[in-house]
């Protein structure tokens, strides 16, 4: 027996709804003002025409809105809806047999074949009468008049005309029948973030190195004084490593030595001392008041402050005494320190997420985040999220964003791909990437095609870092100043979001701790630094220029639009970004060789750029100021690592109008 | 607050479990004796080692069995289980943190680094003690002894040896901890059919054309007399078009003319007359007794009988009077006939699946199928299933197979791809394909790669027909006898299941109704045929030979193993099939040109065939009897359409053993 509750007459089926992540288990991501383009395969048995529509609503909002879907071939249908507010939206689609359209399409064929359509017109009258019952106002009148005309036995020509009237068609479509409708079995979610989730420019700085005097521990106030410098380079996020009290038990000395000297300052990631834990500020940096002032001052410069969340404790952290149940105890009664055997990190106690008291631990850690939100922080860079359970982060981020949907989380997970992608799925707004280790044309092309042209783009937002305090890539170690220029240009143009660890980056600091290591020599992680920010060697002007270009060109503020173009030289990489209406097109060509000049021919995919081979177009190098007249796909470039390792070309097209030649962007 | 019912300590996540169709909405398909290879991405936060296992059980069977899974790289794990019985199985996987393996792996690193492992050995003792509590017999003793040794403070070397003992490792693995286990959220289904679902050889024949005398209406007994002929060609399914009473109202005449002559026999698909409907036999064909005898006789020849299910009625069908509610009524009170405007099929009334009485209709149609099952039919060829709702078929097939899991359904849907694939998803055991219209190397390669190398192979089992009573493809119309040979060889070697509409096929009947039409001239659908089956022109010997080759070579009895190889001539297509252990390898090369001899070089993917470039191998042409010594990927072939349009090569390898050269298959 058919199950009673199922109406076997629902004939429309809906398959392969996209986008959806793991069959709706996770939300896709968008930012405010974007649209969600939804596709599905929708069909029914037989020859009847189907119709479908997209349904969407803000989460917890009763008002369901609908949007039409149109067929795009092979039973695929497409619709879209805008996301205008930060928060969560949901969407699904529904389909039904379109009786009117089926009837109308068949009627045209019958009339064309010269068949008697007397009965068919009566069938149509019945369908339209049903629509009229749902219609209101003028539409209802129009429909009723039409029913009357279709039933008029005396005037066959007039009946046919009435049936095929486009106004009738339009009126009927305003009252979809939705008879025996099939709704897709899943409601899919979109997390809508503010624009910064997609387009952001980060600068990491250690406040304690911001002292104007060499040798003195810098403070938040010193760091505040550097804000104009940071802002002048065009950054919009200033990210501080942990600002909490630093433990002294097993403190690491300079260059990560196991025995610290009395004046060694320790690592900011060794959190917790008698002076407090994750909600305290290291006394040498200043007070909560200083921090609030820092935030407010940063905001004045157009900078947001991102704080580090590193959920780990030193042996001196208050939690160790207050909540020993949150740590794992060894058979000798000591607390288990961090390890990645054979490496031991005796200065760090990991939190035990398998503790029977996991529940209280989760609440406490959420309270830490809420504490800093109350101080004004809206962006968190999360340290090693992949060493805490995925379920914890999923819960934490959902809880926080329910109340503060504007909060963003950057996942600092440098680990296996599936782990990194899972963190993005469960809610991290942005993610560090493997960019630091992708140097060749093939490596960059493969990786960025994966990030921007596969399903990943629905939930994994990359944030590209050419360096971090933990990563001085080999390419930067060996390639001199041009290597820093090249990697910076790649980060800032391949990624709508990128960041640098400064001032180490702009000053081109490139000495590794030892050969084969990616650690910095005399790393700022373990000691204070004092630097000359006005060095002629500094890349600050290049950085400022490129950040200006990013702000002025919408094309560079998104990653979905990335497209690679062929070149005949393996050291030359060429890619473009364009905004949706192609009014802003940027073509970037980078010489990946930091030593030699490289020249060659690029081969543009003109179609993707809306250019035609028959007309020339001007490209204006926003970086080098040159202007070149190009035509067709194949064009020549020559790039010198020392002076001009890249072109950032804006396409300008001449078009002929009726009266004149117009110059437009 | 974290949800109380969720244990936040479950750290393992499971993603991308395959195979699964539409996230488990539909079952995958297998036949008895096959294995299901299951893969999933399984990982956890941090550095702990994970473990996972495959769980499977027969539907409605309490006994869950498990099967180990092993890592295959990049966090993917693989396991497999056998399906030994016809019916439904279910499977899922579960994963957990492997505390013992994590501890053991870390211990090895610590010992290698010369670290003090005193405490670590105590930690291990605790883990092993927990395992011992679950263990029984000798294992429990071994584990307890090990705990004791690990806690022995006096002998560190012995403790280390005890910890790393492989016997300990093996014993522990027999008692998986499954602490805080994560089970995949879906139970996935497998429909297991008998072998014929995968490997079958069909012959379609009109019983009414089986009379030995020209002009007389053939009977089931006449058809029975042809069974030795059919069996001699090596077929194992004999498929009969509908055998029910044929309507007379609006009966179609010869060549589908709208006005039948009094002696016109009508189309077997115009089902129903005063003499009965879907459970009756056309009196001119014989009786139910004759049919039962036909089945039993066929079985004696190794043939199964497939019956046609065509759920449609003539105006004379008993349903029309008994159940007018199952048909749609037009405004003039008449019943709606079939249409595909502007084409009208006034001799056919479609059943109205949107009838308020749909429920009773479903039950009735199921009873029709059950009726024929009771007569001994176990295979149904379903006519135009795509013109009835998917939900109906899904229900019907599930209901039937619950009681008769050995029953097979072939979907005769020639329509859009998503519709055809949906029918396979919802349960049809086999499906007609676009094979009849795929002629060129590119067309065949693309299509068969889609069918056999994508997810389709999990649920869409193709049955290849070079012709049907409705389809005389252009290639056969214009290519003469060689065209029939080529298309037959392709069908029988590309597809583990194929069928021909005979004797029209083996006699190379190739006259179309008119130019540009795929209908046969004087189609058997509307008139009786009388043929000389012993014509020298007949392909029956070729057919018999190839069906013998199919039976003798396991490689040809499956489709998953199909692989195309390059050739340098667009008229030469080359592909191979091999069984799993590569003990049976068949390489097929077909000349797609029915007019000209074609020669060229093929370029084998040696790796897929387990062949190495350094050693020569013999290929034995099972069709042409030739033997060739080949070496490496590149080998020459020459094929003549009239005499030898194809090679069906069995690979034989010489291998050198220690004592001699051995010849093996």
User: Looking at residue A615, what is its pLDDT?
Assistant: 85
Nearest CB to A9 within list B358, B386, B395: B358
Give tens-digit pLDDT for B411-460. 999 999 999 999 999 999 999 999 999 999 999 999 999 999 999 999 99
A45 and B390 within 8 Å at the Cβ level: the answer is yes
ipTM more than 0.90?
yes
Structure tokens that stand for A114 in this block: 């010269």
Q: How confident is the model at residue B62 (pLDDT cuts 50, 70, 90)?
A: confident
User: At how many degrees (to 10) do helices A118-134 and A166-173 cross?
Assistant: 40
B383 is an active site residue: yes
Q: Is B73 on the interface with A (CB under 8 A)?
A: no
Kindly identify which residue of chain B lies nearest to residue A332, measuring between CA atoms: B119
B8 and A353 within 8 Å at the Cβ level: the answer is yes
Q: What is A459-515 written as a DSSP string?
A: T--B-B-S-BTTB--HHHHHHHHHHHHHHHHHHHHH-SEEEEETTTTTTT---BSST
Kindly identify which residue of chain B lies nearest to residue A125, measuring between CA atoms: B331
Residues A188 and B265: their CA atoms lie apart, in Å, by 56
- Strand segments (E) across B216-369: 237-240, 304-309, 312-313, 338-340, 343-345, 349-350
Which chain A residues are within 8 Å of B44, Cβ to Cβ?
Answer: 389
User: Looking at residue B152, what is its pLDDT?
Assistant: 85
Contact residues, A window 553-612, toward B, CB-based 8 Å cutoff: none
pTM of the model: 0.94
B43 and A416 within 8 Å at the Cβ level: the answer is yes
Q: Please give the share of chain B, as a percent, with pLDDT higher than 90.
A: 91
Q: How many Cβ contacts (< 8 angstroms) between chains A and B?
A: 158
Q: Is A116 on the interface with B (CB under 8 A)?
A: no
Q: Evaluate if residue B294 carries a pLDDT over 90.
A: yes
Q: Is B137 on the interface with A (CB under 8 A)?
A: no
A353 and B9 within 8 Å at the Cβ level: the answer is yes
Asked if omega into B500 is within 30° of 0 (cis), the reply is: no
Give tens-digit pLDDT for A94-145. 999 999 999 999 999 999 999 999 999 999 999 999 999 999 999 999 999 9
User: Looking at residue A664, what is its pLDDT?
Assistant: 46
What average pLDDT values come out for chain A (665 residues) when binned by 10 residues?
66 96 97 98 96 94 92 98 97 96 96 93 95 94 94 84 93 88 95 98 98 95 98 98 97 94 96 98 98 98 98 98 97 93 92 96 98 98 97 97 98 97 98 98 98 98 98 97 98 98 97 96 97 96 98 97 98 97 96 98 96 91 94 96 95 64 46
User: Looking at residue A663, what is its pLDDT?
Assistant: 47
Shortest Cα distance, chain B CAs vs residue A391, angstroms: 6
Interface residue of B341, B383, B421 to substitute, partner A, most A CBs within 10 Å: B341
Residues A634 and A653: their CA atoms lie apart, in Å, by 17
Interface residue of A391, A403, A450, A454 to substitute, partner B, most B CBs within 10 Å: A391
Q: Is B358 on the interface with A (CB under 8 A)?
A: yes
Task: Tell me B658's DSSP state.
Answer: S
User: Looking at residue B2, what is its pLDDT?
Assistant: 46
Please say whether the beta carbons of B475 and B443 come within 8 A.
no
Residues A650 and A621: their CA atoms lie apart, in Å, by 6
Give tens-digit pLDDT for B257-283. 998 999 999 999 999 999 999 999 999
Q: Is B331 on the interface with A (CB under 8 A)?
A: yes
User: At how many degrees (to 10) do helices A417-425 and A390-403 cross?
Assistant: 30
Give tens-digit pLDDT for A624-662. 999 999 999 999 999 999 999 999 999 987 655 555 444
Task: Tell me B175's DSSP state.
Answer: S
Please say whether the beta carbons of A582 and A609 come within 8 A.
yes
Structure tokens that stand for A165 in this block: 């009237």
User: Looking at residue B614, what is its pLDDT?
Assistant: 86
Q: Is A22 on the interface with B (CB under 8 A)?
A: yes
Task: Tell me A351's DSSP state.
Answer: P
Beta bridge partners of residue A644, listed in sequence order: A640
Mean pLDDT throughout B203-228? 97
Q: What residues of A act catalytically? A: 383, 412
Shortest Cα distance, chain B CAs vs residue A74, angstroms: 7
Structure tokens that stand for A181 in this block: 């409708």
B383, B458, B506, B559: which one is catalytic? B383
A358 and B8 within 8 Å at the Cβ level: the answer is yes
Interface residue of B3, B7, B9, B357 to substitute, partner A, most A CBs within 10 Å: B9
Torsion of CA A19, A24, A29, A30, to 10 degrees: 60
Give tens-digit pLDDT for A441-489. 999 999 999 999 999 999 999 999 999 999 999 999 999 999 999 999 9
Which chain A residues are within 8 Å of B47, Cβ to Cβ?
Answer: 340, 387
Mean pLDDT throughout B509-532? 97
B11 and A390 within 8 Å at the Cβ level: the answer is yes
User: Looking at residue B664, what is its pLDDT?
Assistant: 46
Asked if omega into B622 is within 30° of 0 (cis), the reply is: no
B359 and A15 within 8 Å at the Cβ level: the answer is no
* Rg from Cα positions in chain A: 31
B412, B458, B527, B559: which one is catalytic? B412
**H/E run at residue B573:** strand B572-578
Residues B284 and B244: their CA atoms lie apart, in Å, by 10
Q: How confident is the model at residue B658 (pLDDT cuts 50, 70, 90)?
A: low
Please say whether the beta carbons of B514 and B492 come within 8 A.
no
Residues A168 and A166: their CA atoms lie apart, in Å, by 5
Kindly identify which residue of chain A lies nearest to residue B110, measuring between CA atoms: A342
B422 and A9 within 8 Å at the Cβ level: the answer is no
User: Looking at residue B538, what is its pLDDT?
Assistant: 98
Q: Is B550 on the interface with A (CB under 8 A)?
A: no
Structure tokens that stand for A94 in this block: 């529904």
User: Looking at residue A654, what is its pLDDT?
Assistant: 61
Nearest CB to A75 within list B107, B122, B416: B416
Which chain B residues are within 8 Å of A22, Cβ to Cβ?
Answer: 15-16
B109 and A342 within 8 Å at the Cβ level: the answer is yes
Beta bridge partners of residue A554, listed in sequence order: none
Q: Is B166 on the interface with A (CB under 8 A)?
A: no
Shortest Cα distance, chain A CAs vs residue B39, angstroms: 14
Residues A382 and A387: their CA atoms lie apart, in Å, by 11
Residues B557 and A650: their CA atoms lie apart, in Å, by 59
Q: Which residues of B90-102 are buried (b: 16+ CB within 10 A; e: fewer)?
A: bbbbbbbbbbbbb
Please say whether the beta carbons of A622 and A647 come within 8 A.
no
Which chain A residues are within 8 Å of B41, Cβ to Cβ?
Answer: 418
Nearest CB to B341 within list A22, A23, A110: A110
Mean pLDDT throughout B65-83? 97
Q: What is the three-class DSSP state of A420?
A: helix
Which chain A residues are within 8 Å of B358, Cβ to Cβ?
Answer: 8-9
Which chain A residues are within 8 Å of B363, Cβ to Cβ?
Answer: 1
């Amino acid at each position: 027996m058919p199950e009673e509750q199922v109406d076997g007459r629902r004939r429309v089926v809906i398959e392969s709804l996209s986008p959806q992540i793991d069959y709706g288990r996770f939300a896709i991501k968008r930012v405010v003002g974007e649209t969600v383009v939804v596709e599905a395969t929708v069909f029914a048995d037989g020859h009847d025409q189907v119709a479908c529509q997209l349904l969407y609503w803000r989460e917890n909002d009763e008002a369901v809105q609908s949007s039409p879907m149109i067929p795009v071939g092979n039973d695929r249908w497409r619709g879209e809806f805008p996301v205008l507010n930060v928060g969560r939206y949901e969407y699904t689609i529904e389909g039904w047999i379109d009786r009117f359209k089926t009837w109308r399409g068949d009627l045209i064929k019958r009339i064309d074949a010269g068949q008697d359509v007397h009965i068919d017109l009566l069938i149509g009258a019945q369908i339209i009468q049903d629509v009229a019952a749902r219609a209101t106002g003028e539409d209802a009148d129009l429909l009723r008049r039409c029913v009357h005309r279709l039933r008029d036995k005396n005037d066959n020509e007039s009946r046919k005309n009435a049936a095929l009237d486009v106004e009738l068609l339009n009126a009927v479509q305003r009252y979809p029948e939705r008879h025996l409708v099939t709704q897709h079995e899943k409601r899919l979610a979109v997390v809508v973030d503010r624009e910064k989730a997609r387009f952001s420019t980060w600068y990491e700085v250690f406040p304690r190195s911001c002292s104007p005097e060499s040798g003195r521990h810098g403070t938040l106030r010193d760091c505040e004084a550097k804000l104009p410098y940071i802002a002048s380079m065009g950054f919009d996020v200033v990210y501080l490593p942990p600002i909490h009290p630093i433990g002294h038990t097993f403190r690491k000395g300079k260059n990560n030595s196991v025995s610290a000297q009395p004046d060694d300052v320790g690592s900011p990631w060794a959190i917790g001392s008698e002076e407090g834990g994750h909600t305290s500020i290291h006394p040498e940096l200043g007070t909560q008041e200083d921090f609030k002032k820092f935030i407010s001052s940063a905001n004045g410069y157009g900078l947001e402050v991102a704080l580090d969340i590193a959920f780990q404790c030193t042996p001196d952290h208050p939690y160790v005494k207050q909540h020993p149940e949150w740590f794992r105890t060894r058979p000798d009664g000591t607390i288990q320190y961090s390890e990645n055997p054979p490496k031991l990190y005796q200065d760090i106690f990991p939190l035990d997420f398998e503790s029977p008291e996991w529940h209280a631990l989760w609440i406490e850690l959420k309270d830490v985040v809420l504490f800093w939100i109350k101080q004004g922080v809206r962006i968190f860079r999360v340290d090693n999220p992949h060493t805490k359970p995925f379920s914890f982060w999923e819960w934490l981020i959902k809880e926080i964003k329910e109340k503060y949907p504007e909060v963003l989380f950057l996942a600092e997970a440098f680990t296996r791909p599936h782990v990194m992608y899972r963190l993005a799925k469960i809610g991290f707004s942005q993610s560090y990437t493997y960019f630091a280790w992708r140097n060749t044309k093939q490596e960059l092309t493969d990786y960025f095609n994966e990030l921007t042209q596969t399903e990943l783009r629905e939930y994994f937002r990359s944030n590209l870092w050419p360096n971090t305090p933990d990563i001085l890539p080999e390419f930067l170690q060996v390639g001199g100043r041009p290597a820093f220029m090249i990697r910076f240009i790649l980060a800032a143009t391949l990624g709508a979001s990128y960041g640098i660890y400064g001032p180490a980056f702009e000053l081109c600091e490139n000495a590794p701790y030892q050969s084969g290591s990616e650690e910095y020599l005399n790393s700022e992680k373990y000691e204070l630094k004092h630097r000359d920010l006005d060095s002629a060697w500094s890349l600050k002007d290049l950085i400022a220029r490129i950040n200006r270009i990013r702000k002025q060109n919408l094309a560079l503020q998104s990653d979905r639009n990335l497209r690679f173009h062929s070149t005949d030289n393996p050291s030359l990489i060429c890619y473009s970004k364009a905004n949706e209406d192609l009014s802003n097109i940027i073509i970037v060509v980078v010489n990946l060789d930091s030593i030699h000049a490289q020249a060659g021919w690029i081969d543009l995919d003109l179609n993707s750029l809306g250019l035609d081979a028959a007309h020339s177009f001007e490209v204006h190098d926003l970086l080098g100021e040159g202007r070149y007249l190009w035509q067709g796909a194949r064009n020549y470039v020559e790039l010198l690592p020392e002076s001009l390792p890249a072109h950032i070309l804006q396409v300008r097209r001449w078009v002929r109008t009726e009266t004149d030649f117009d110059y437009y962007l």
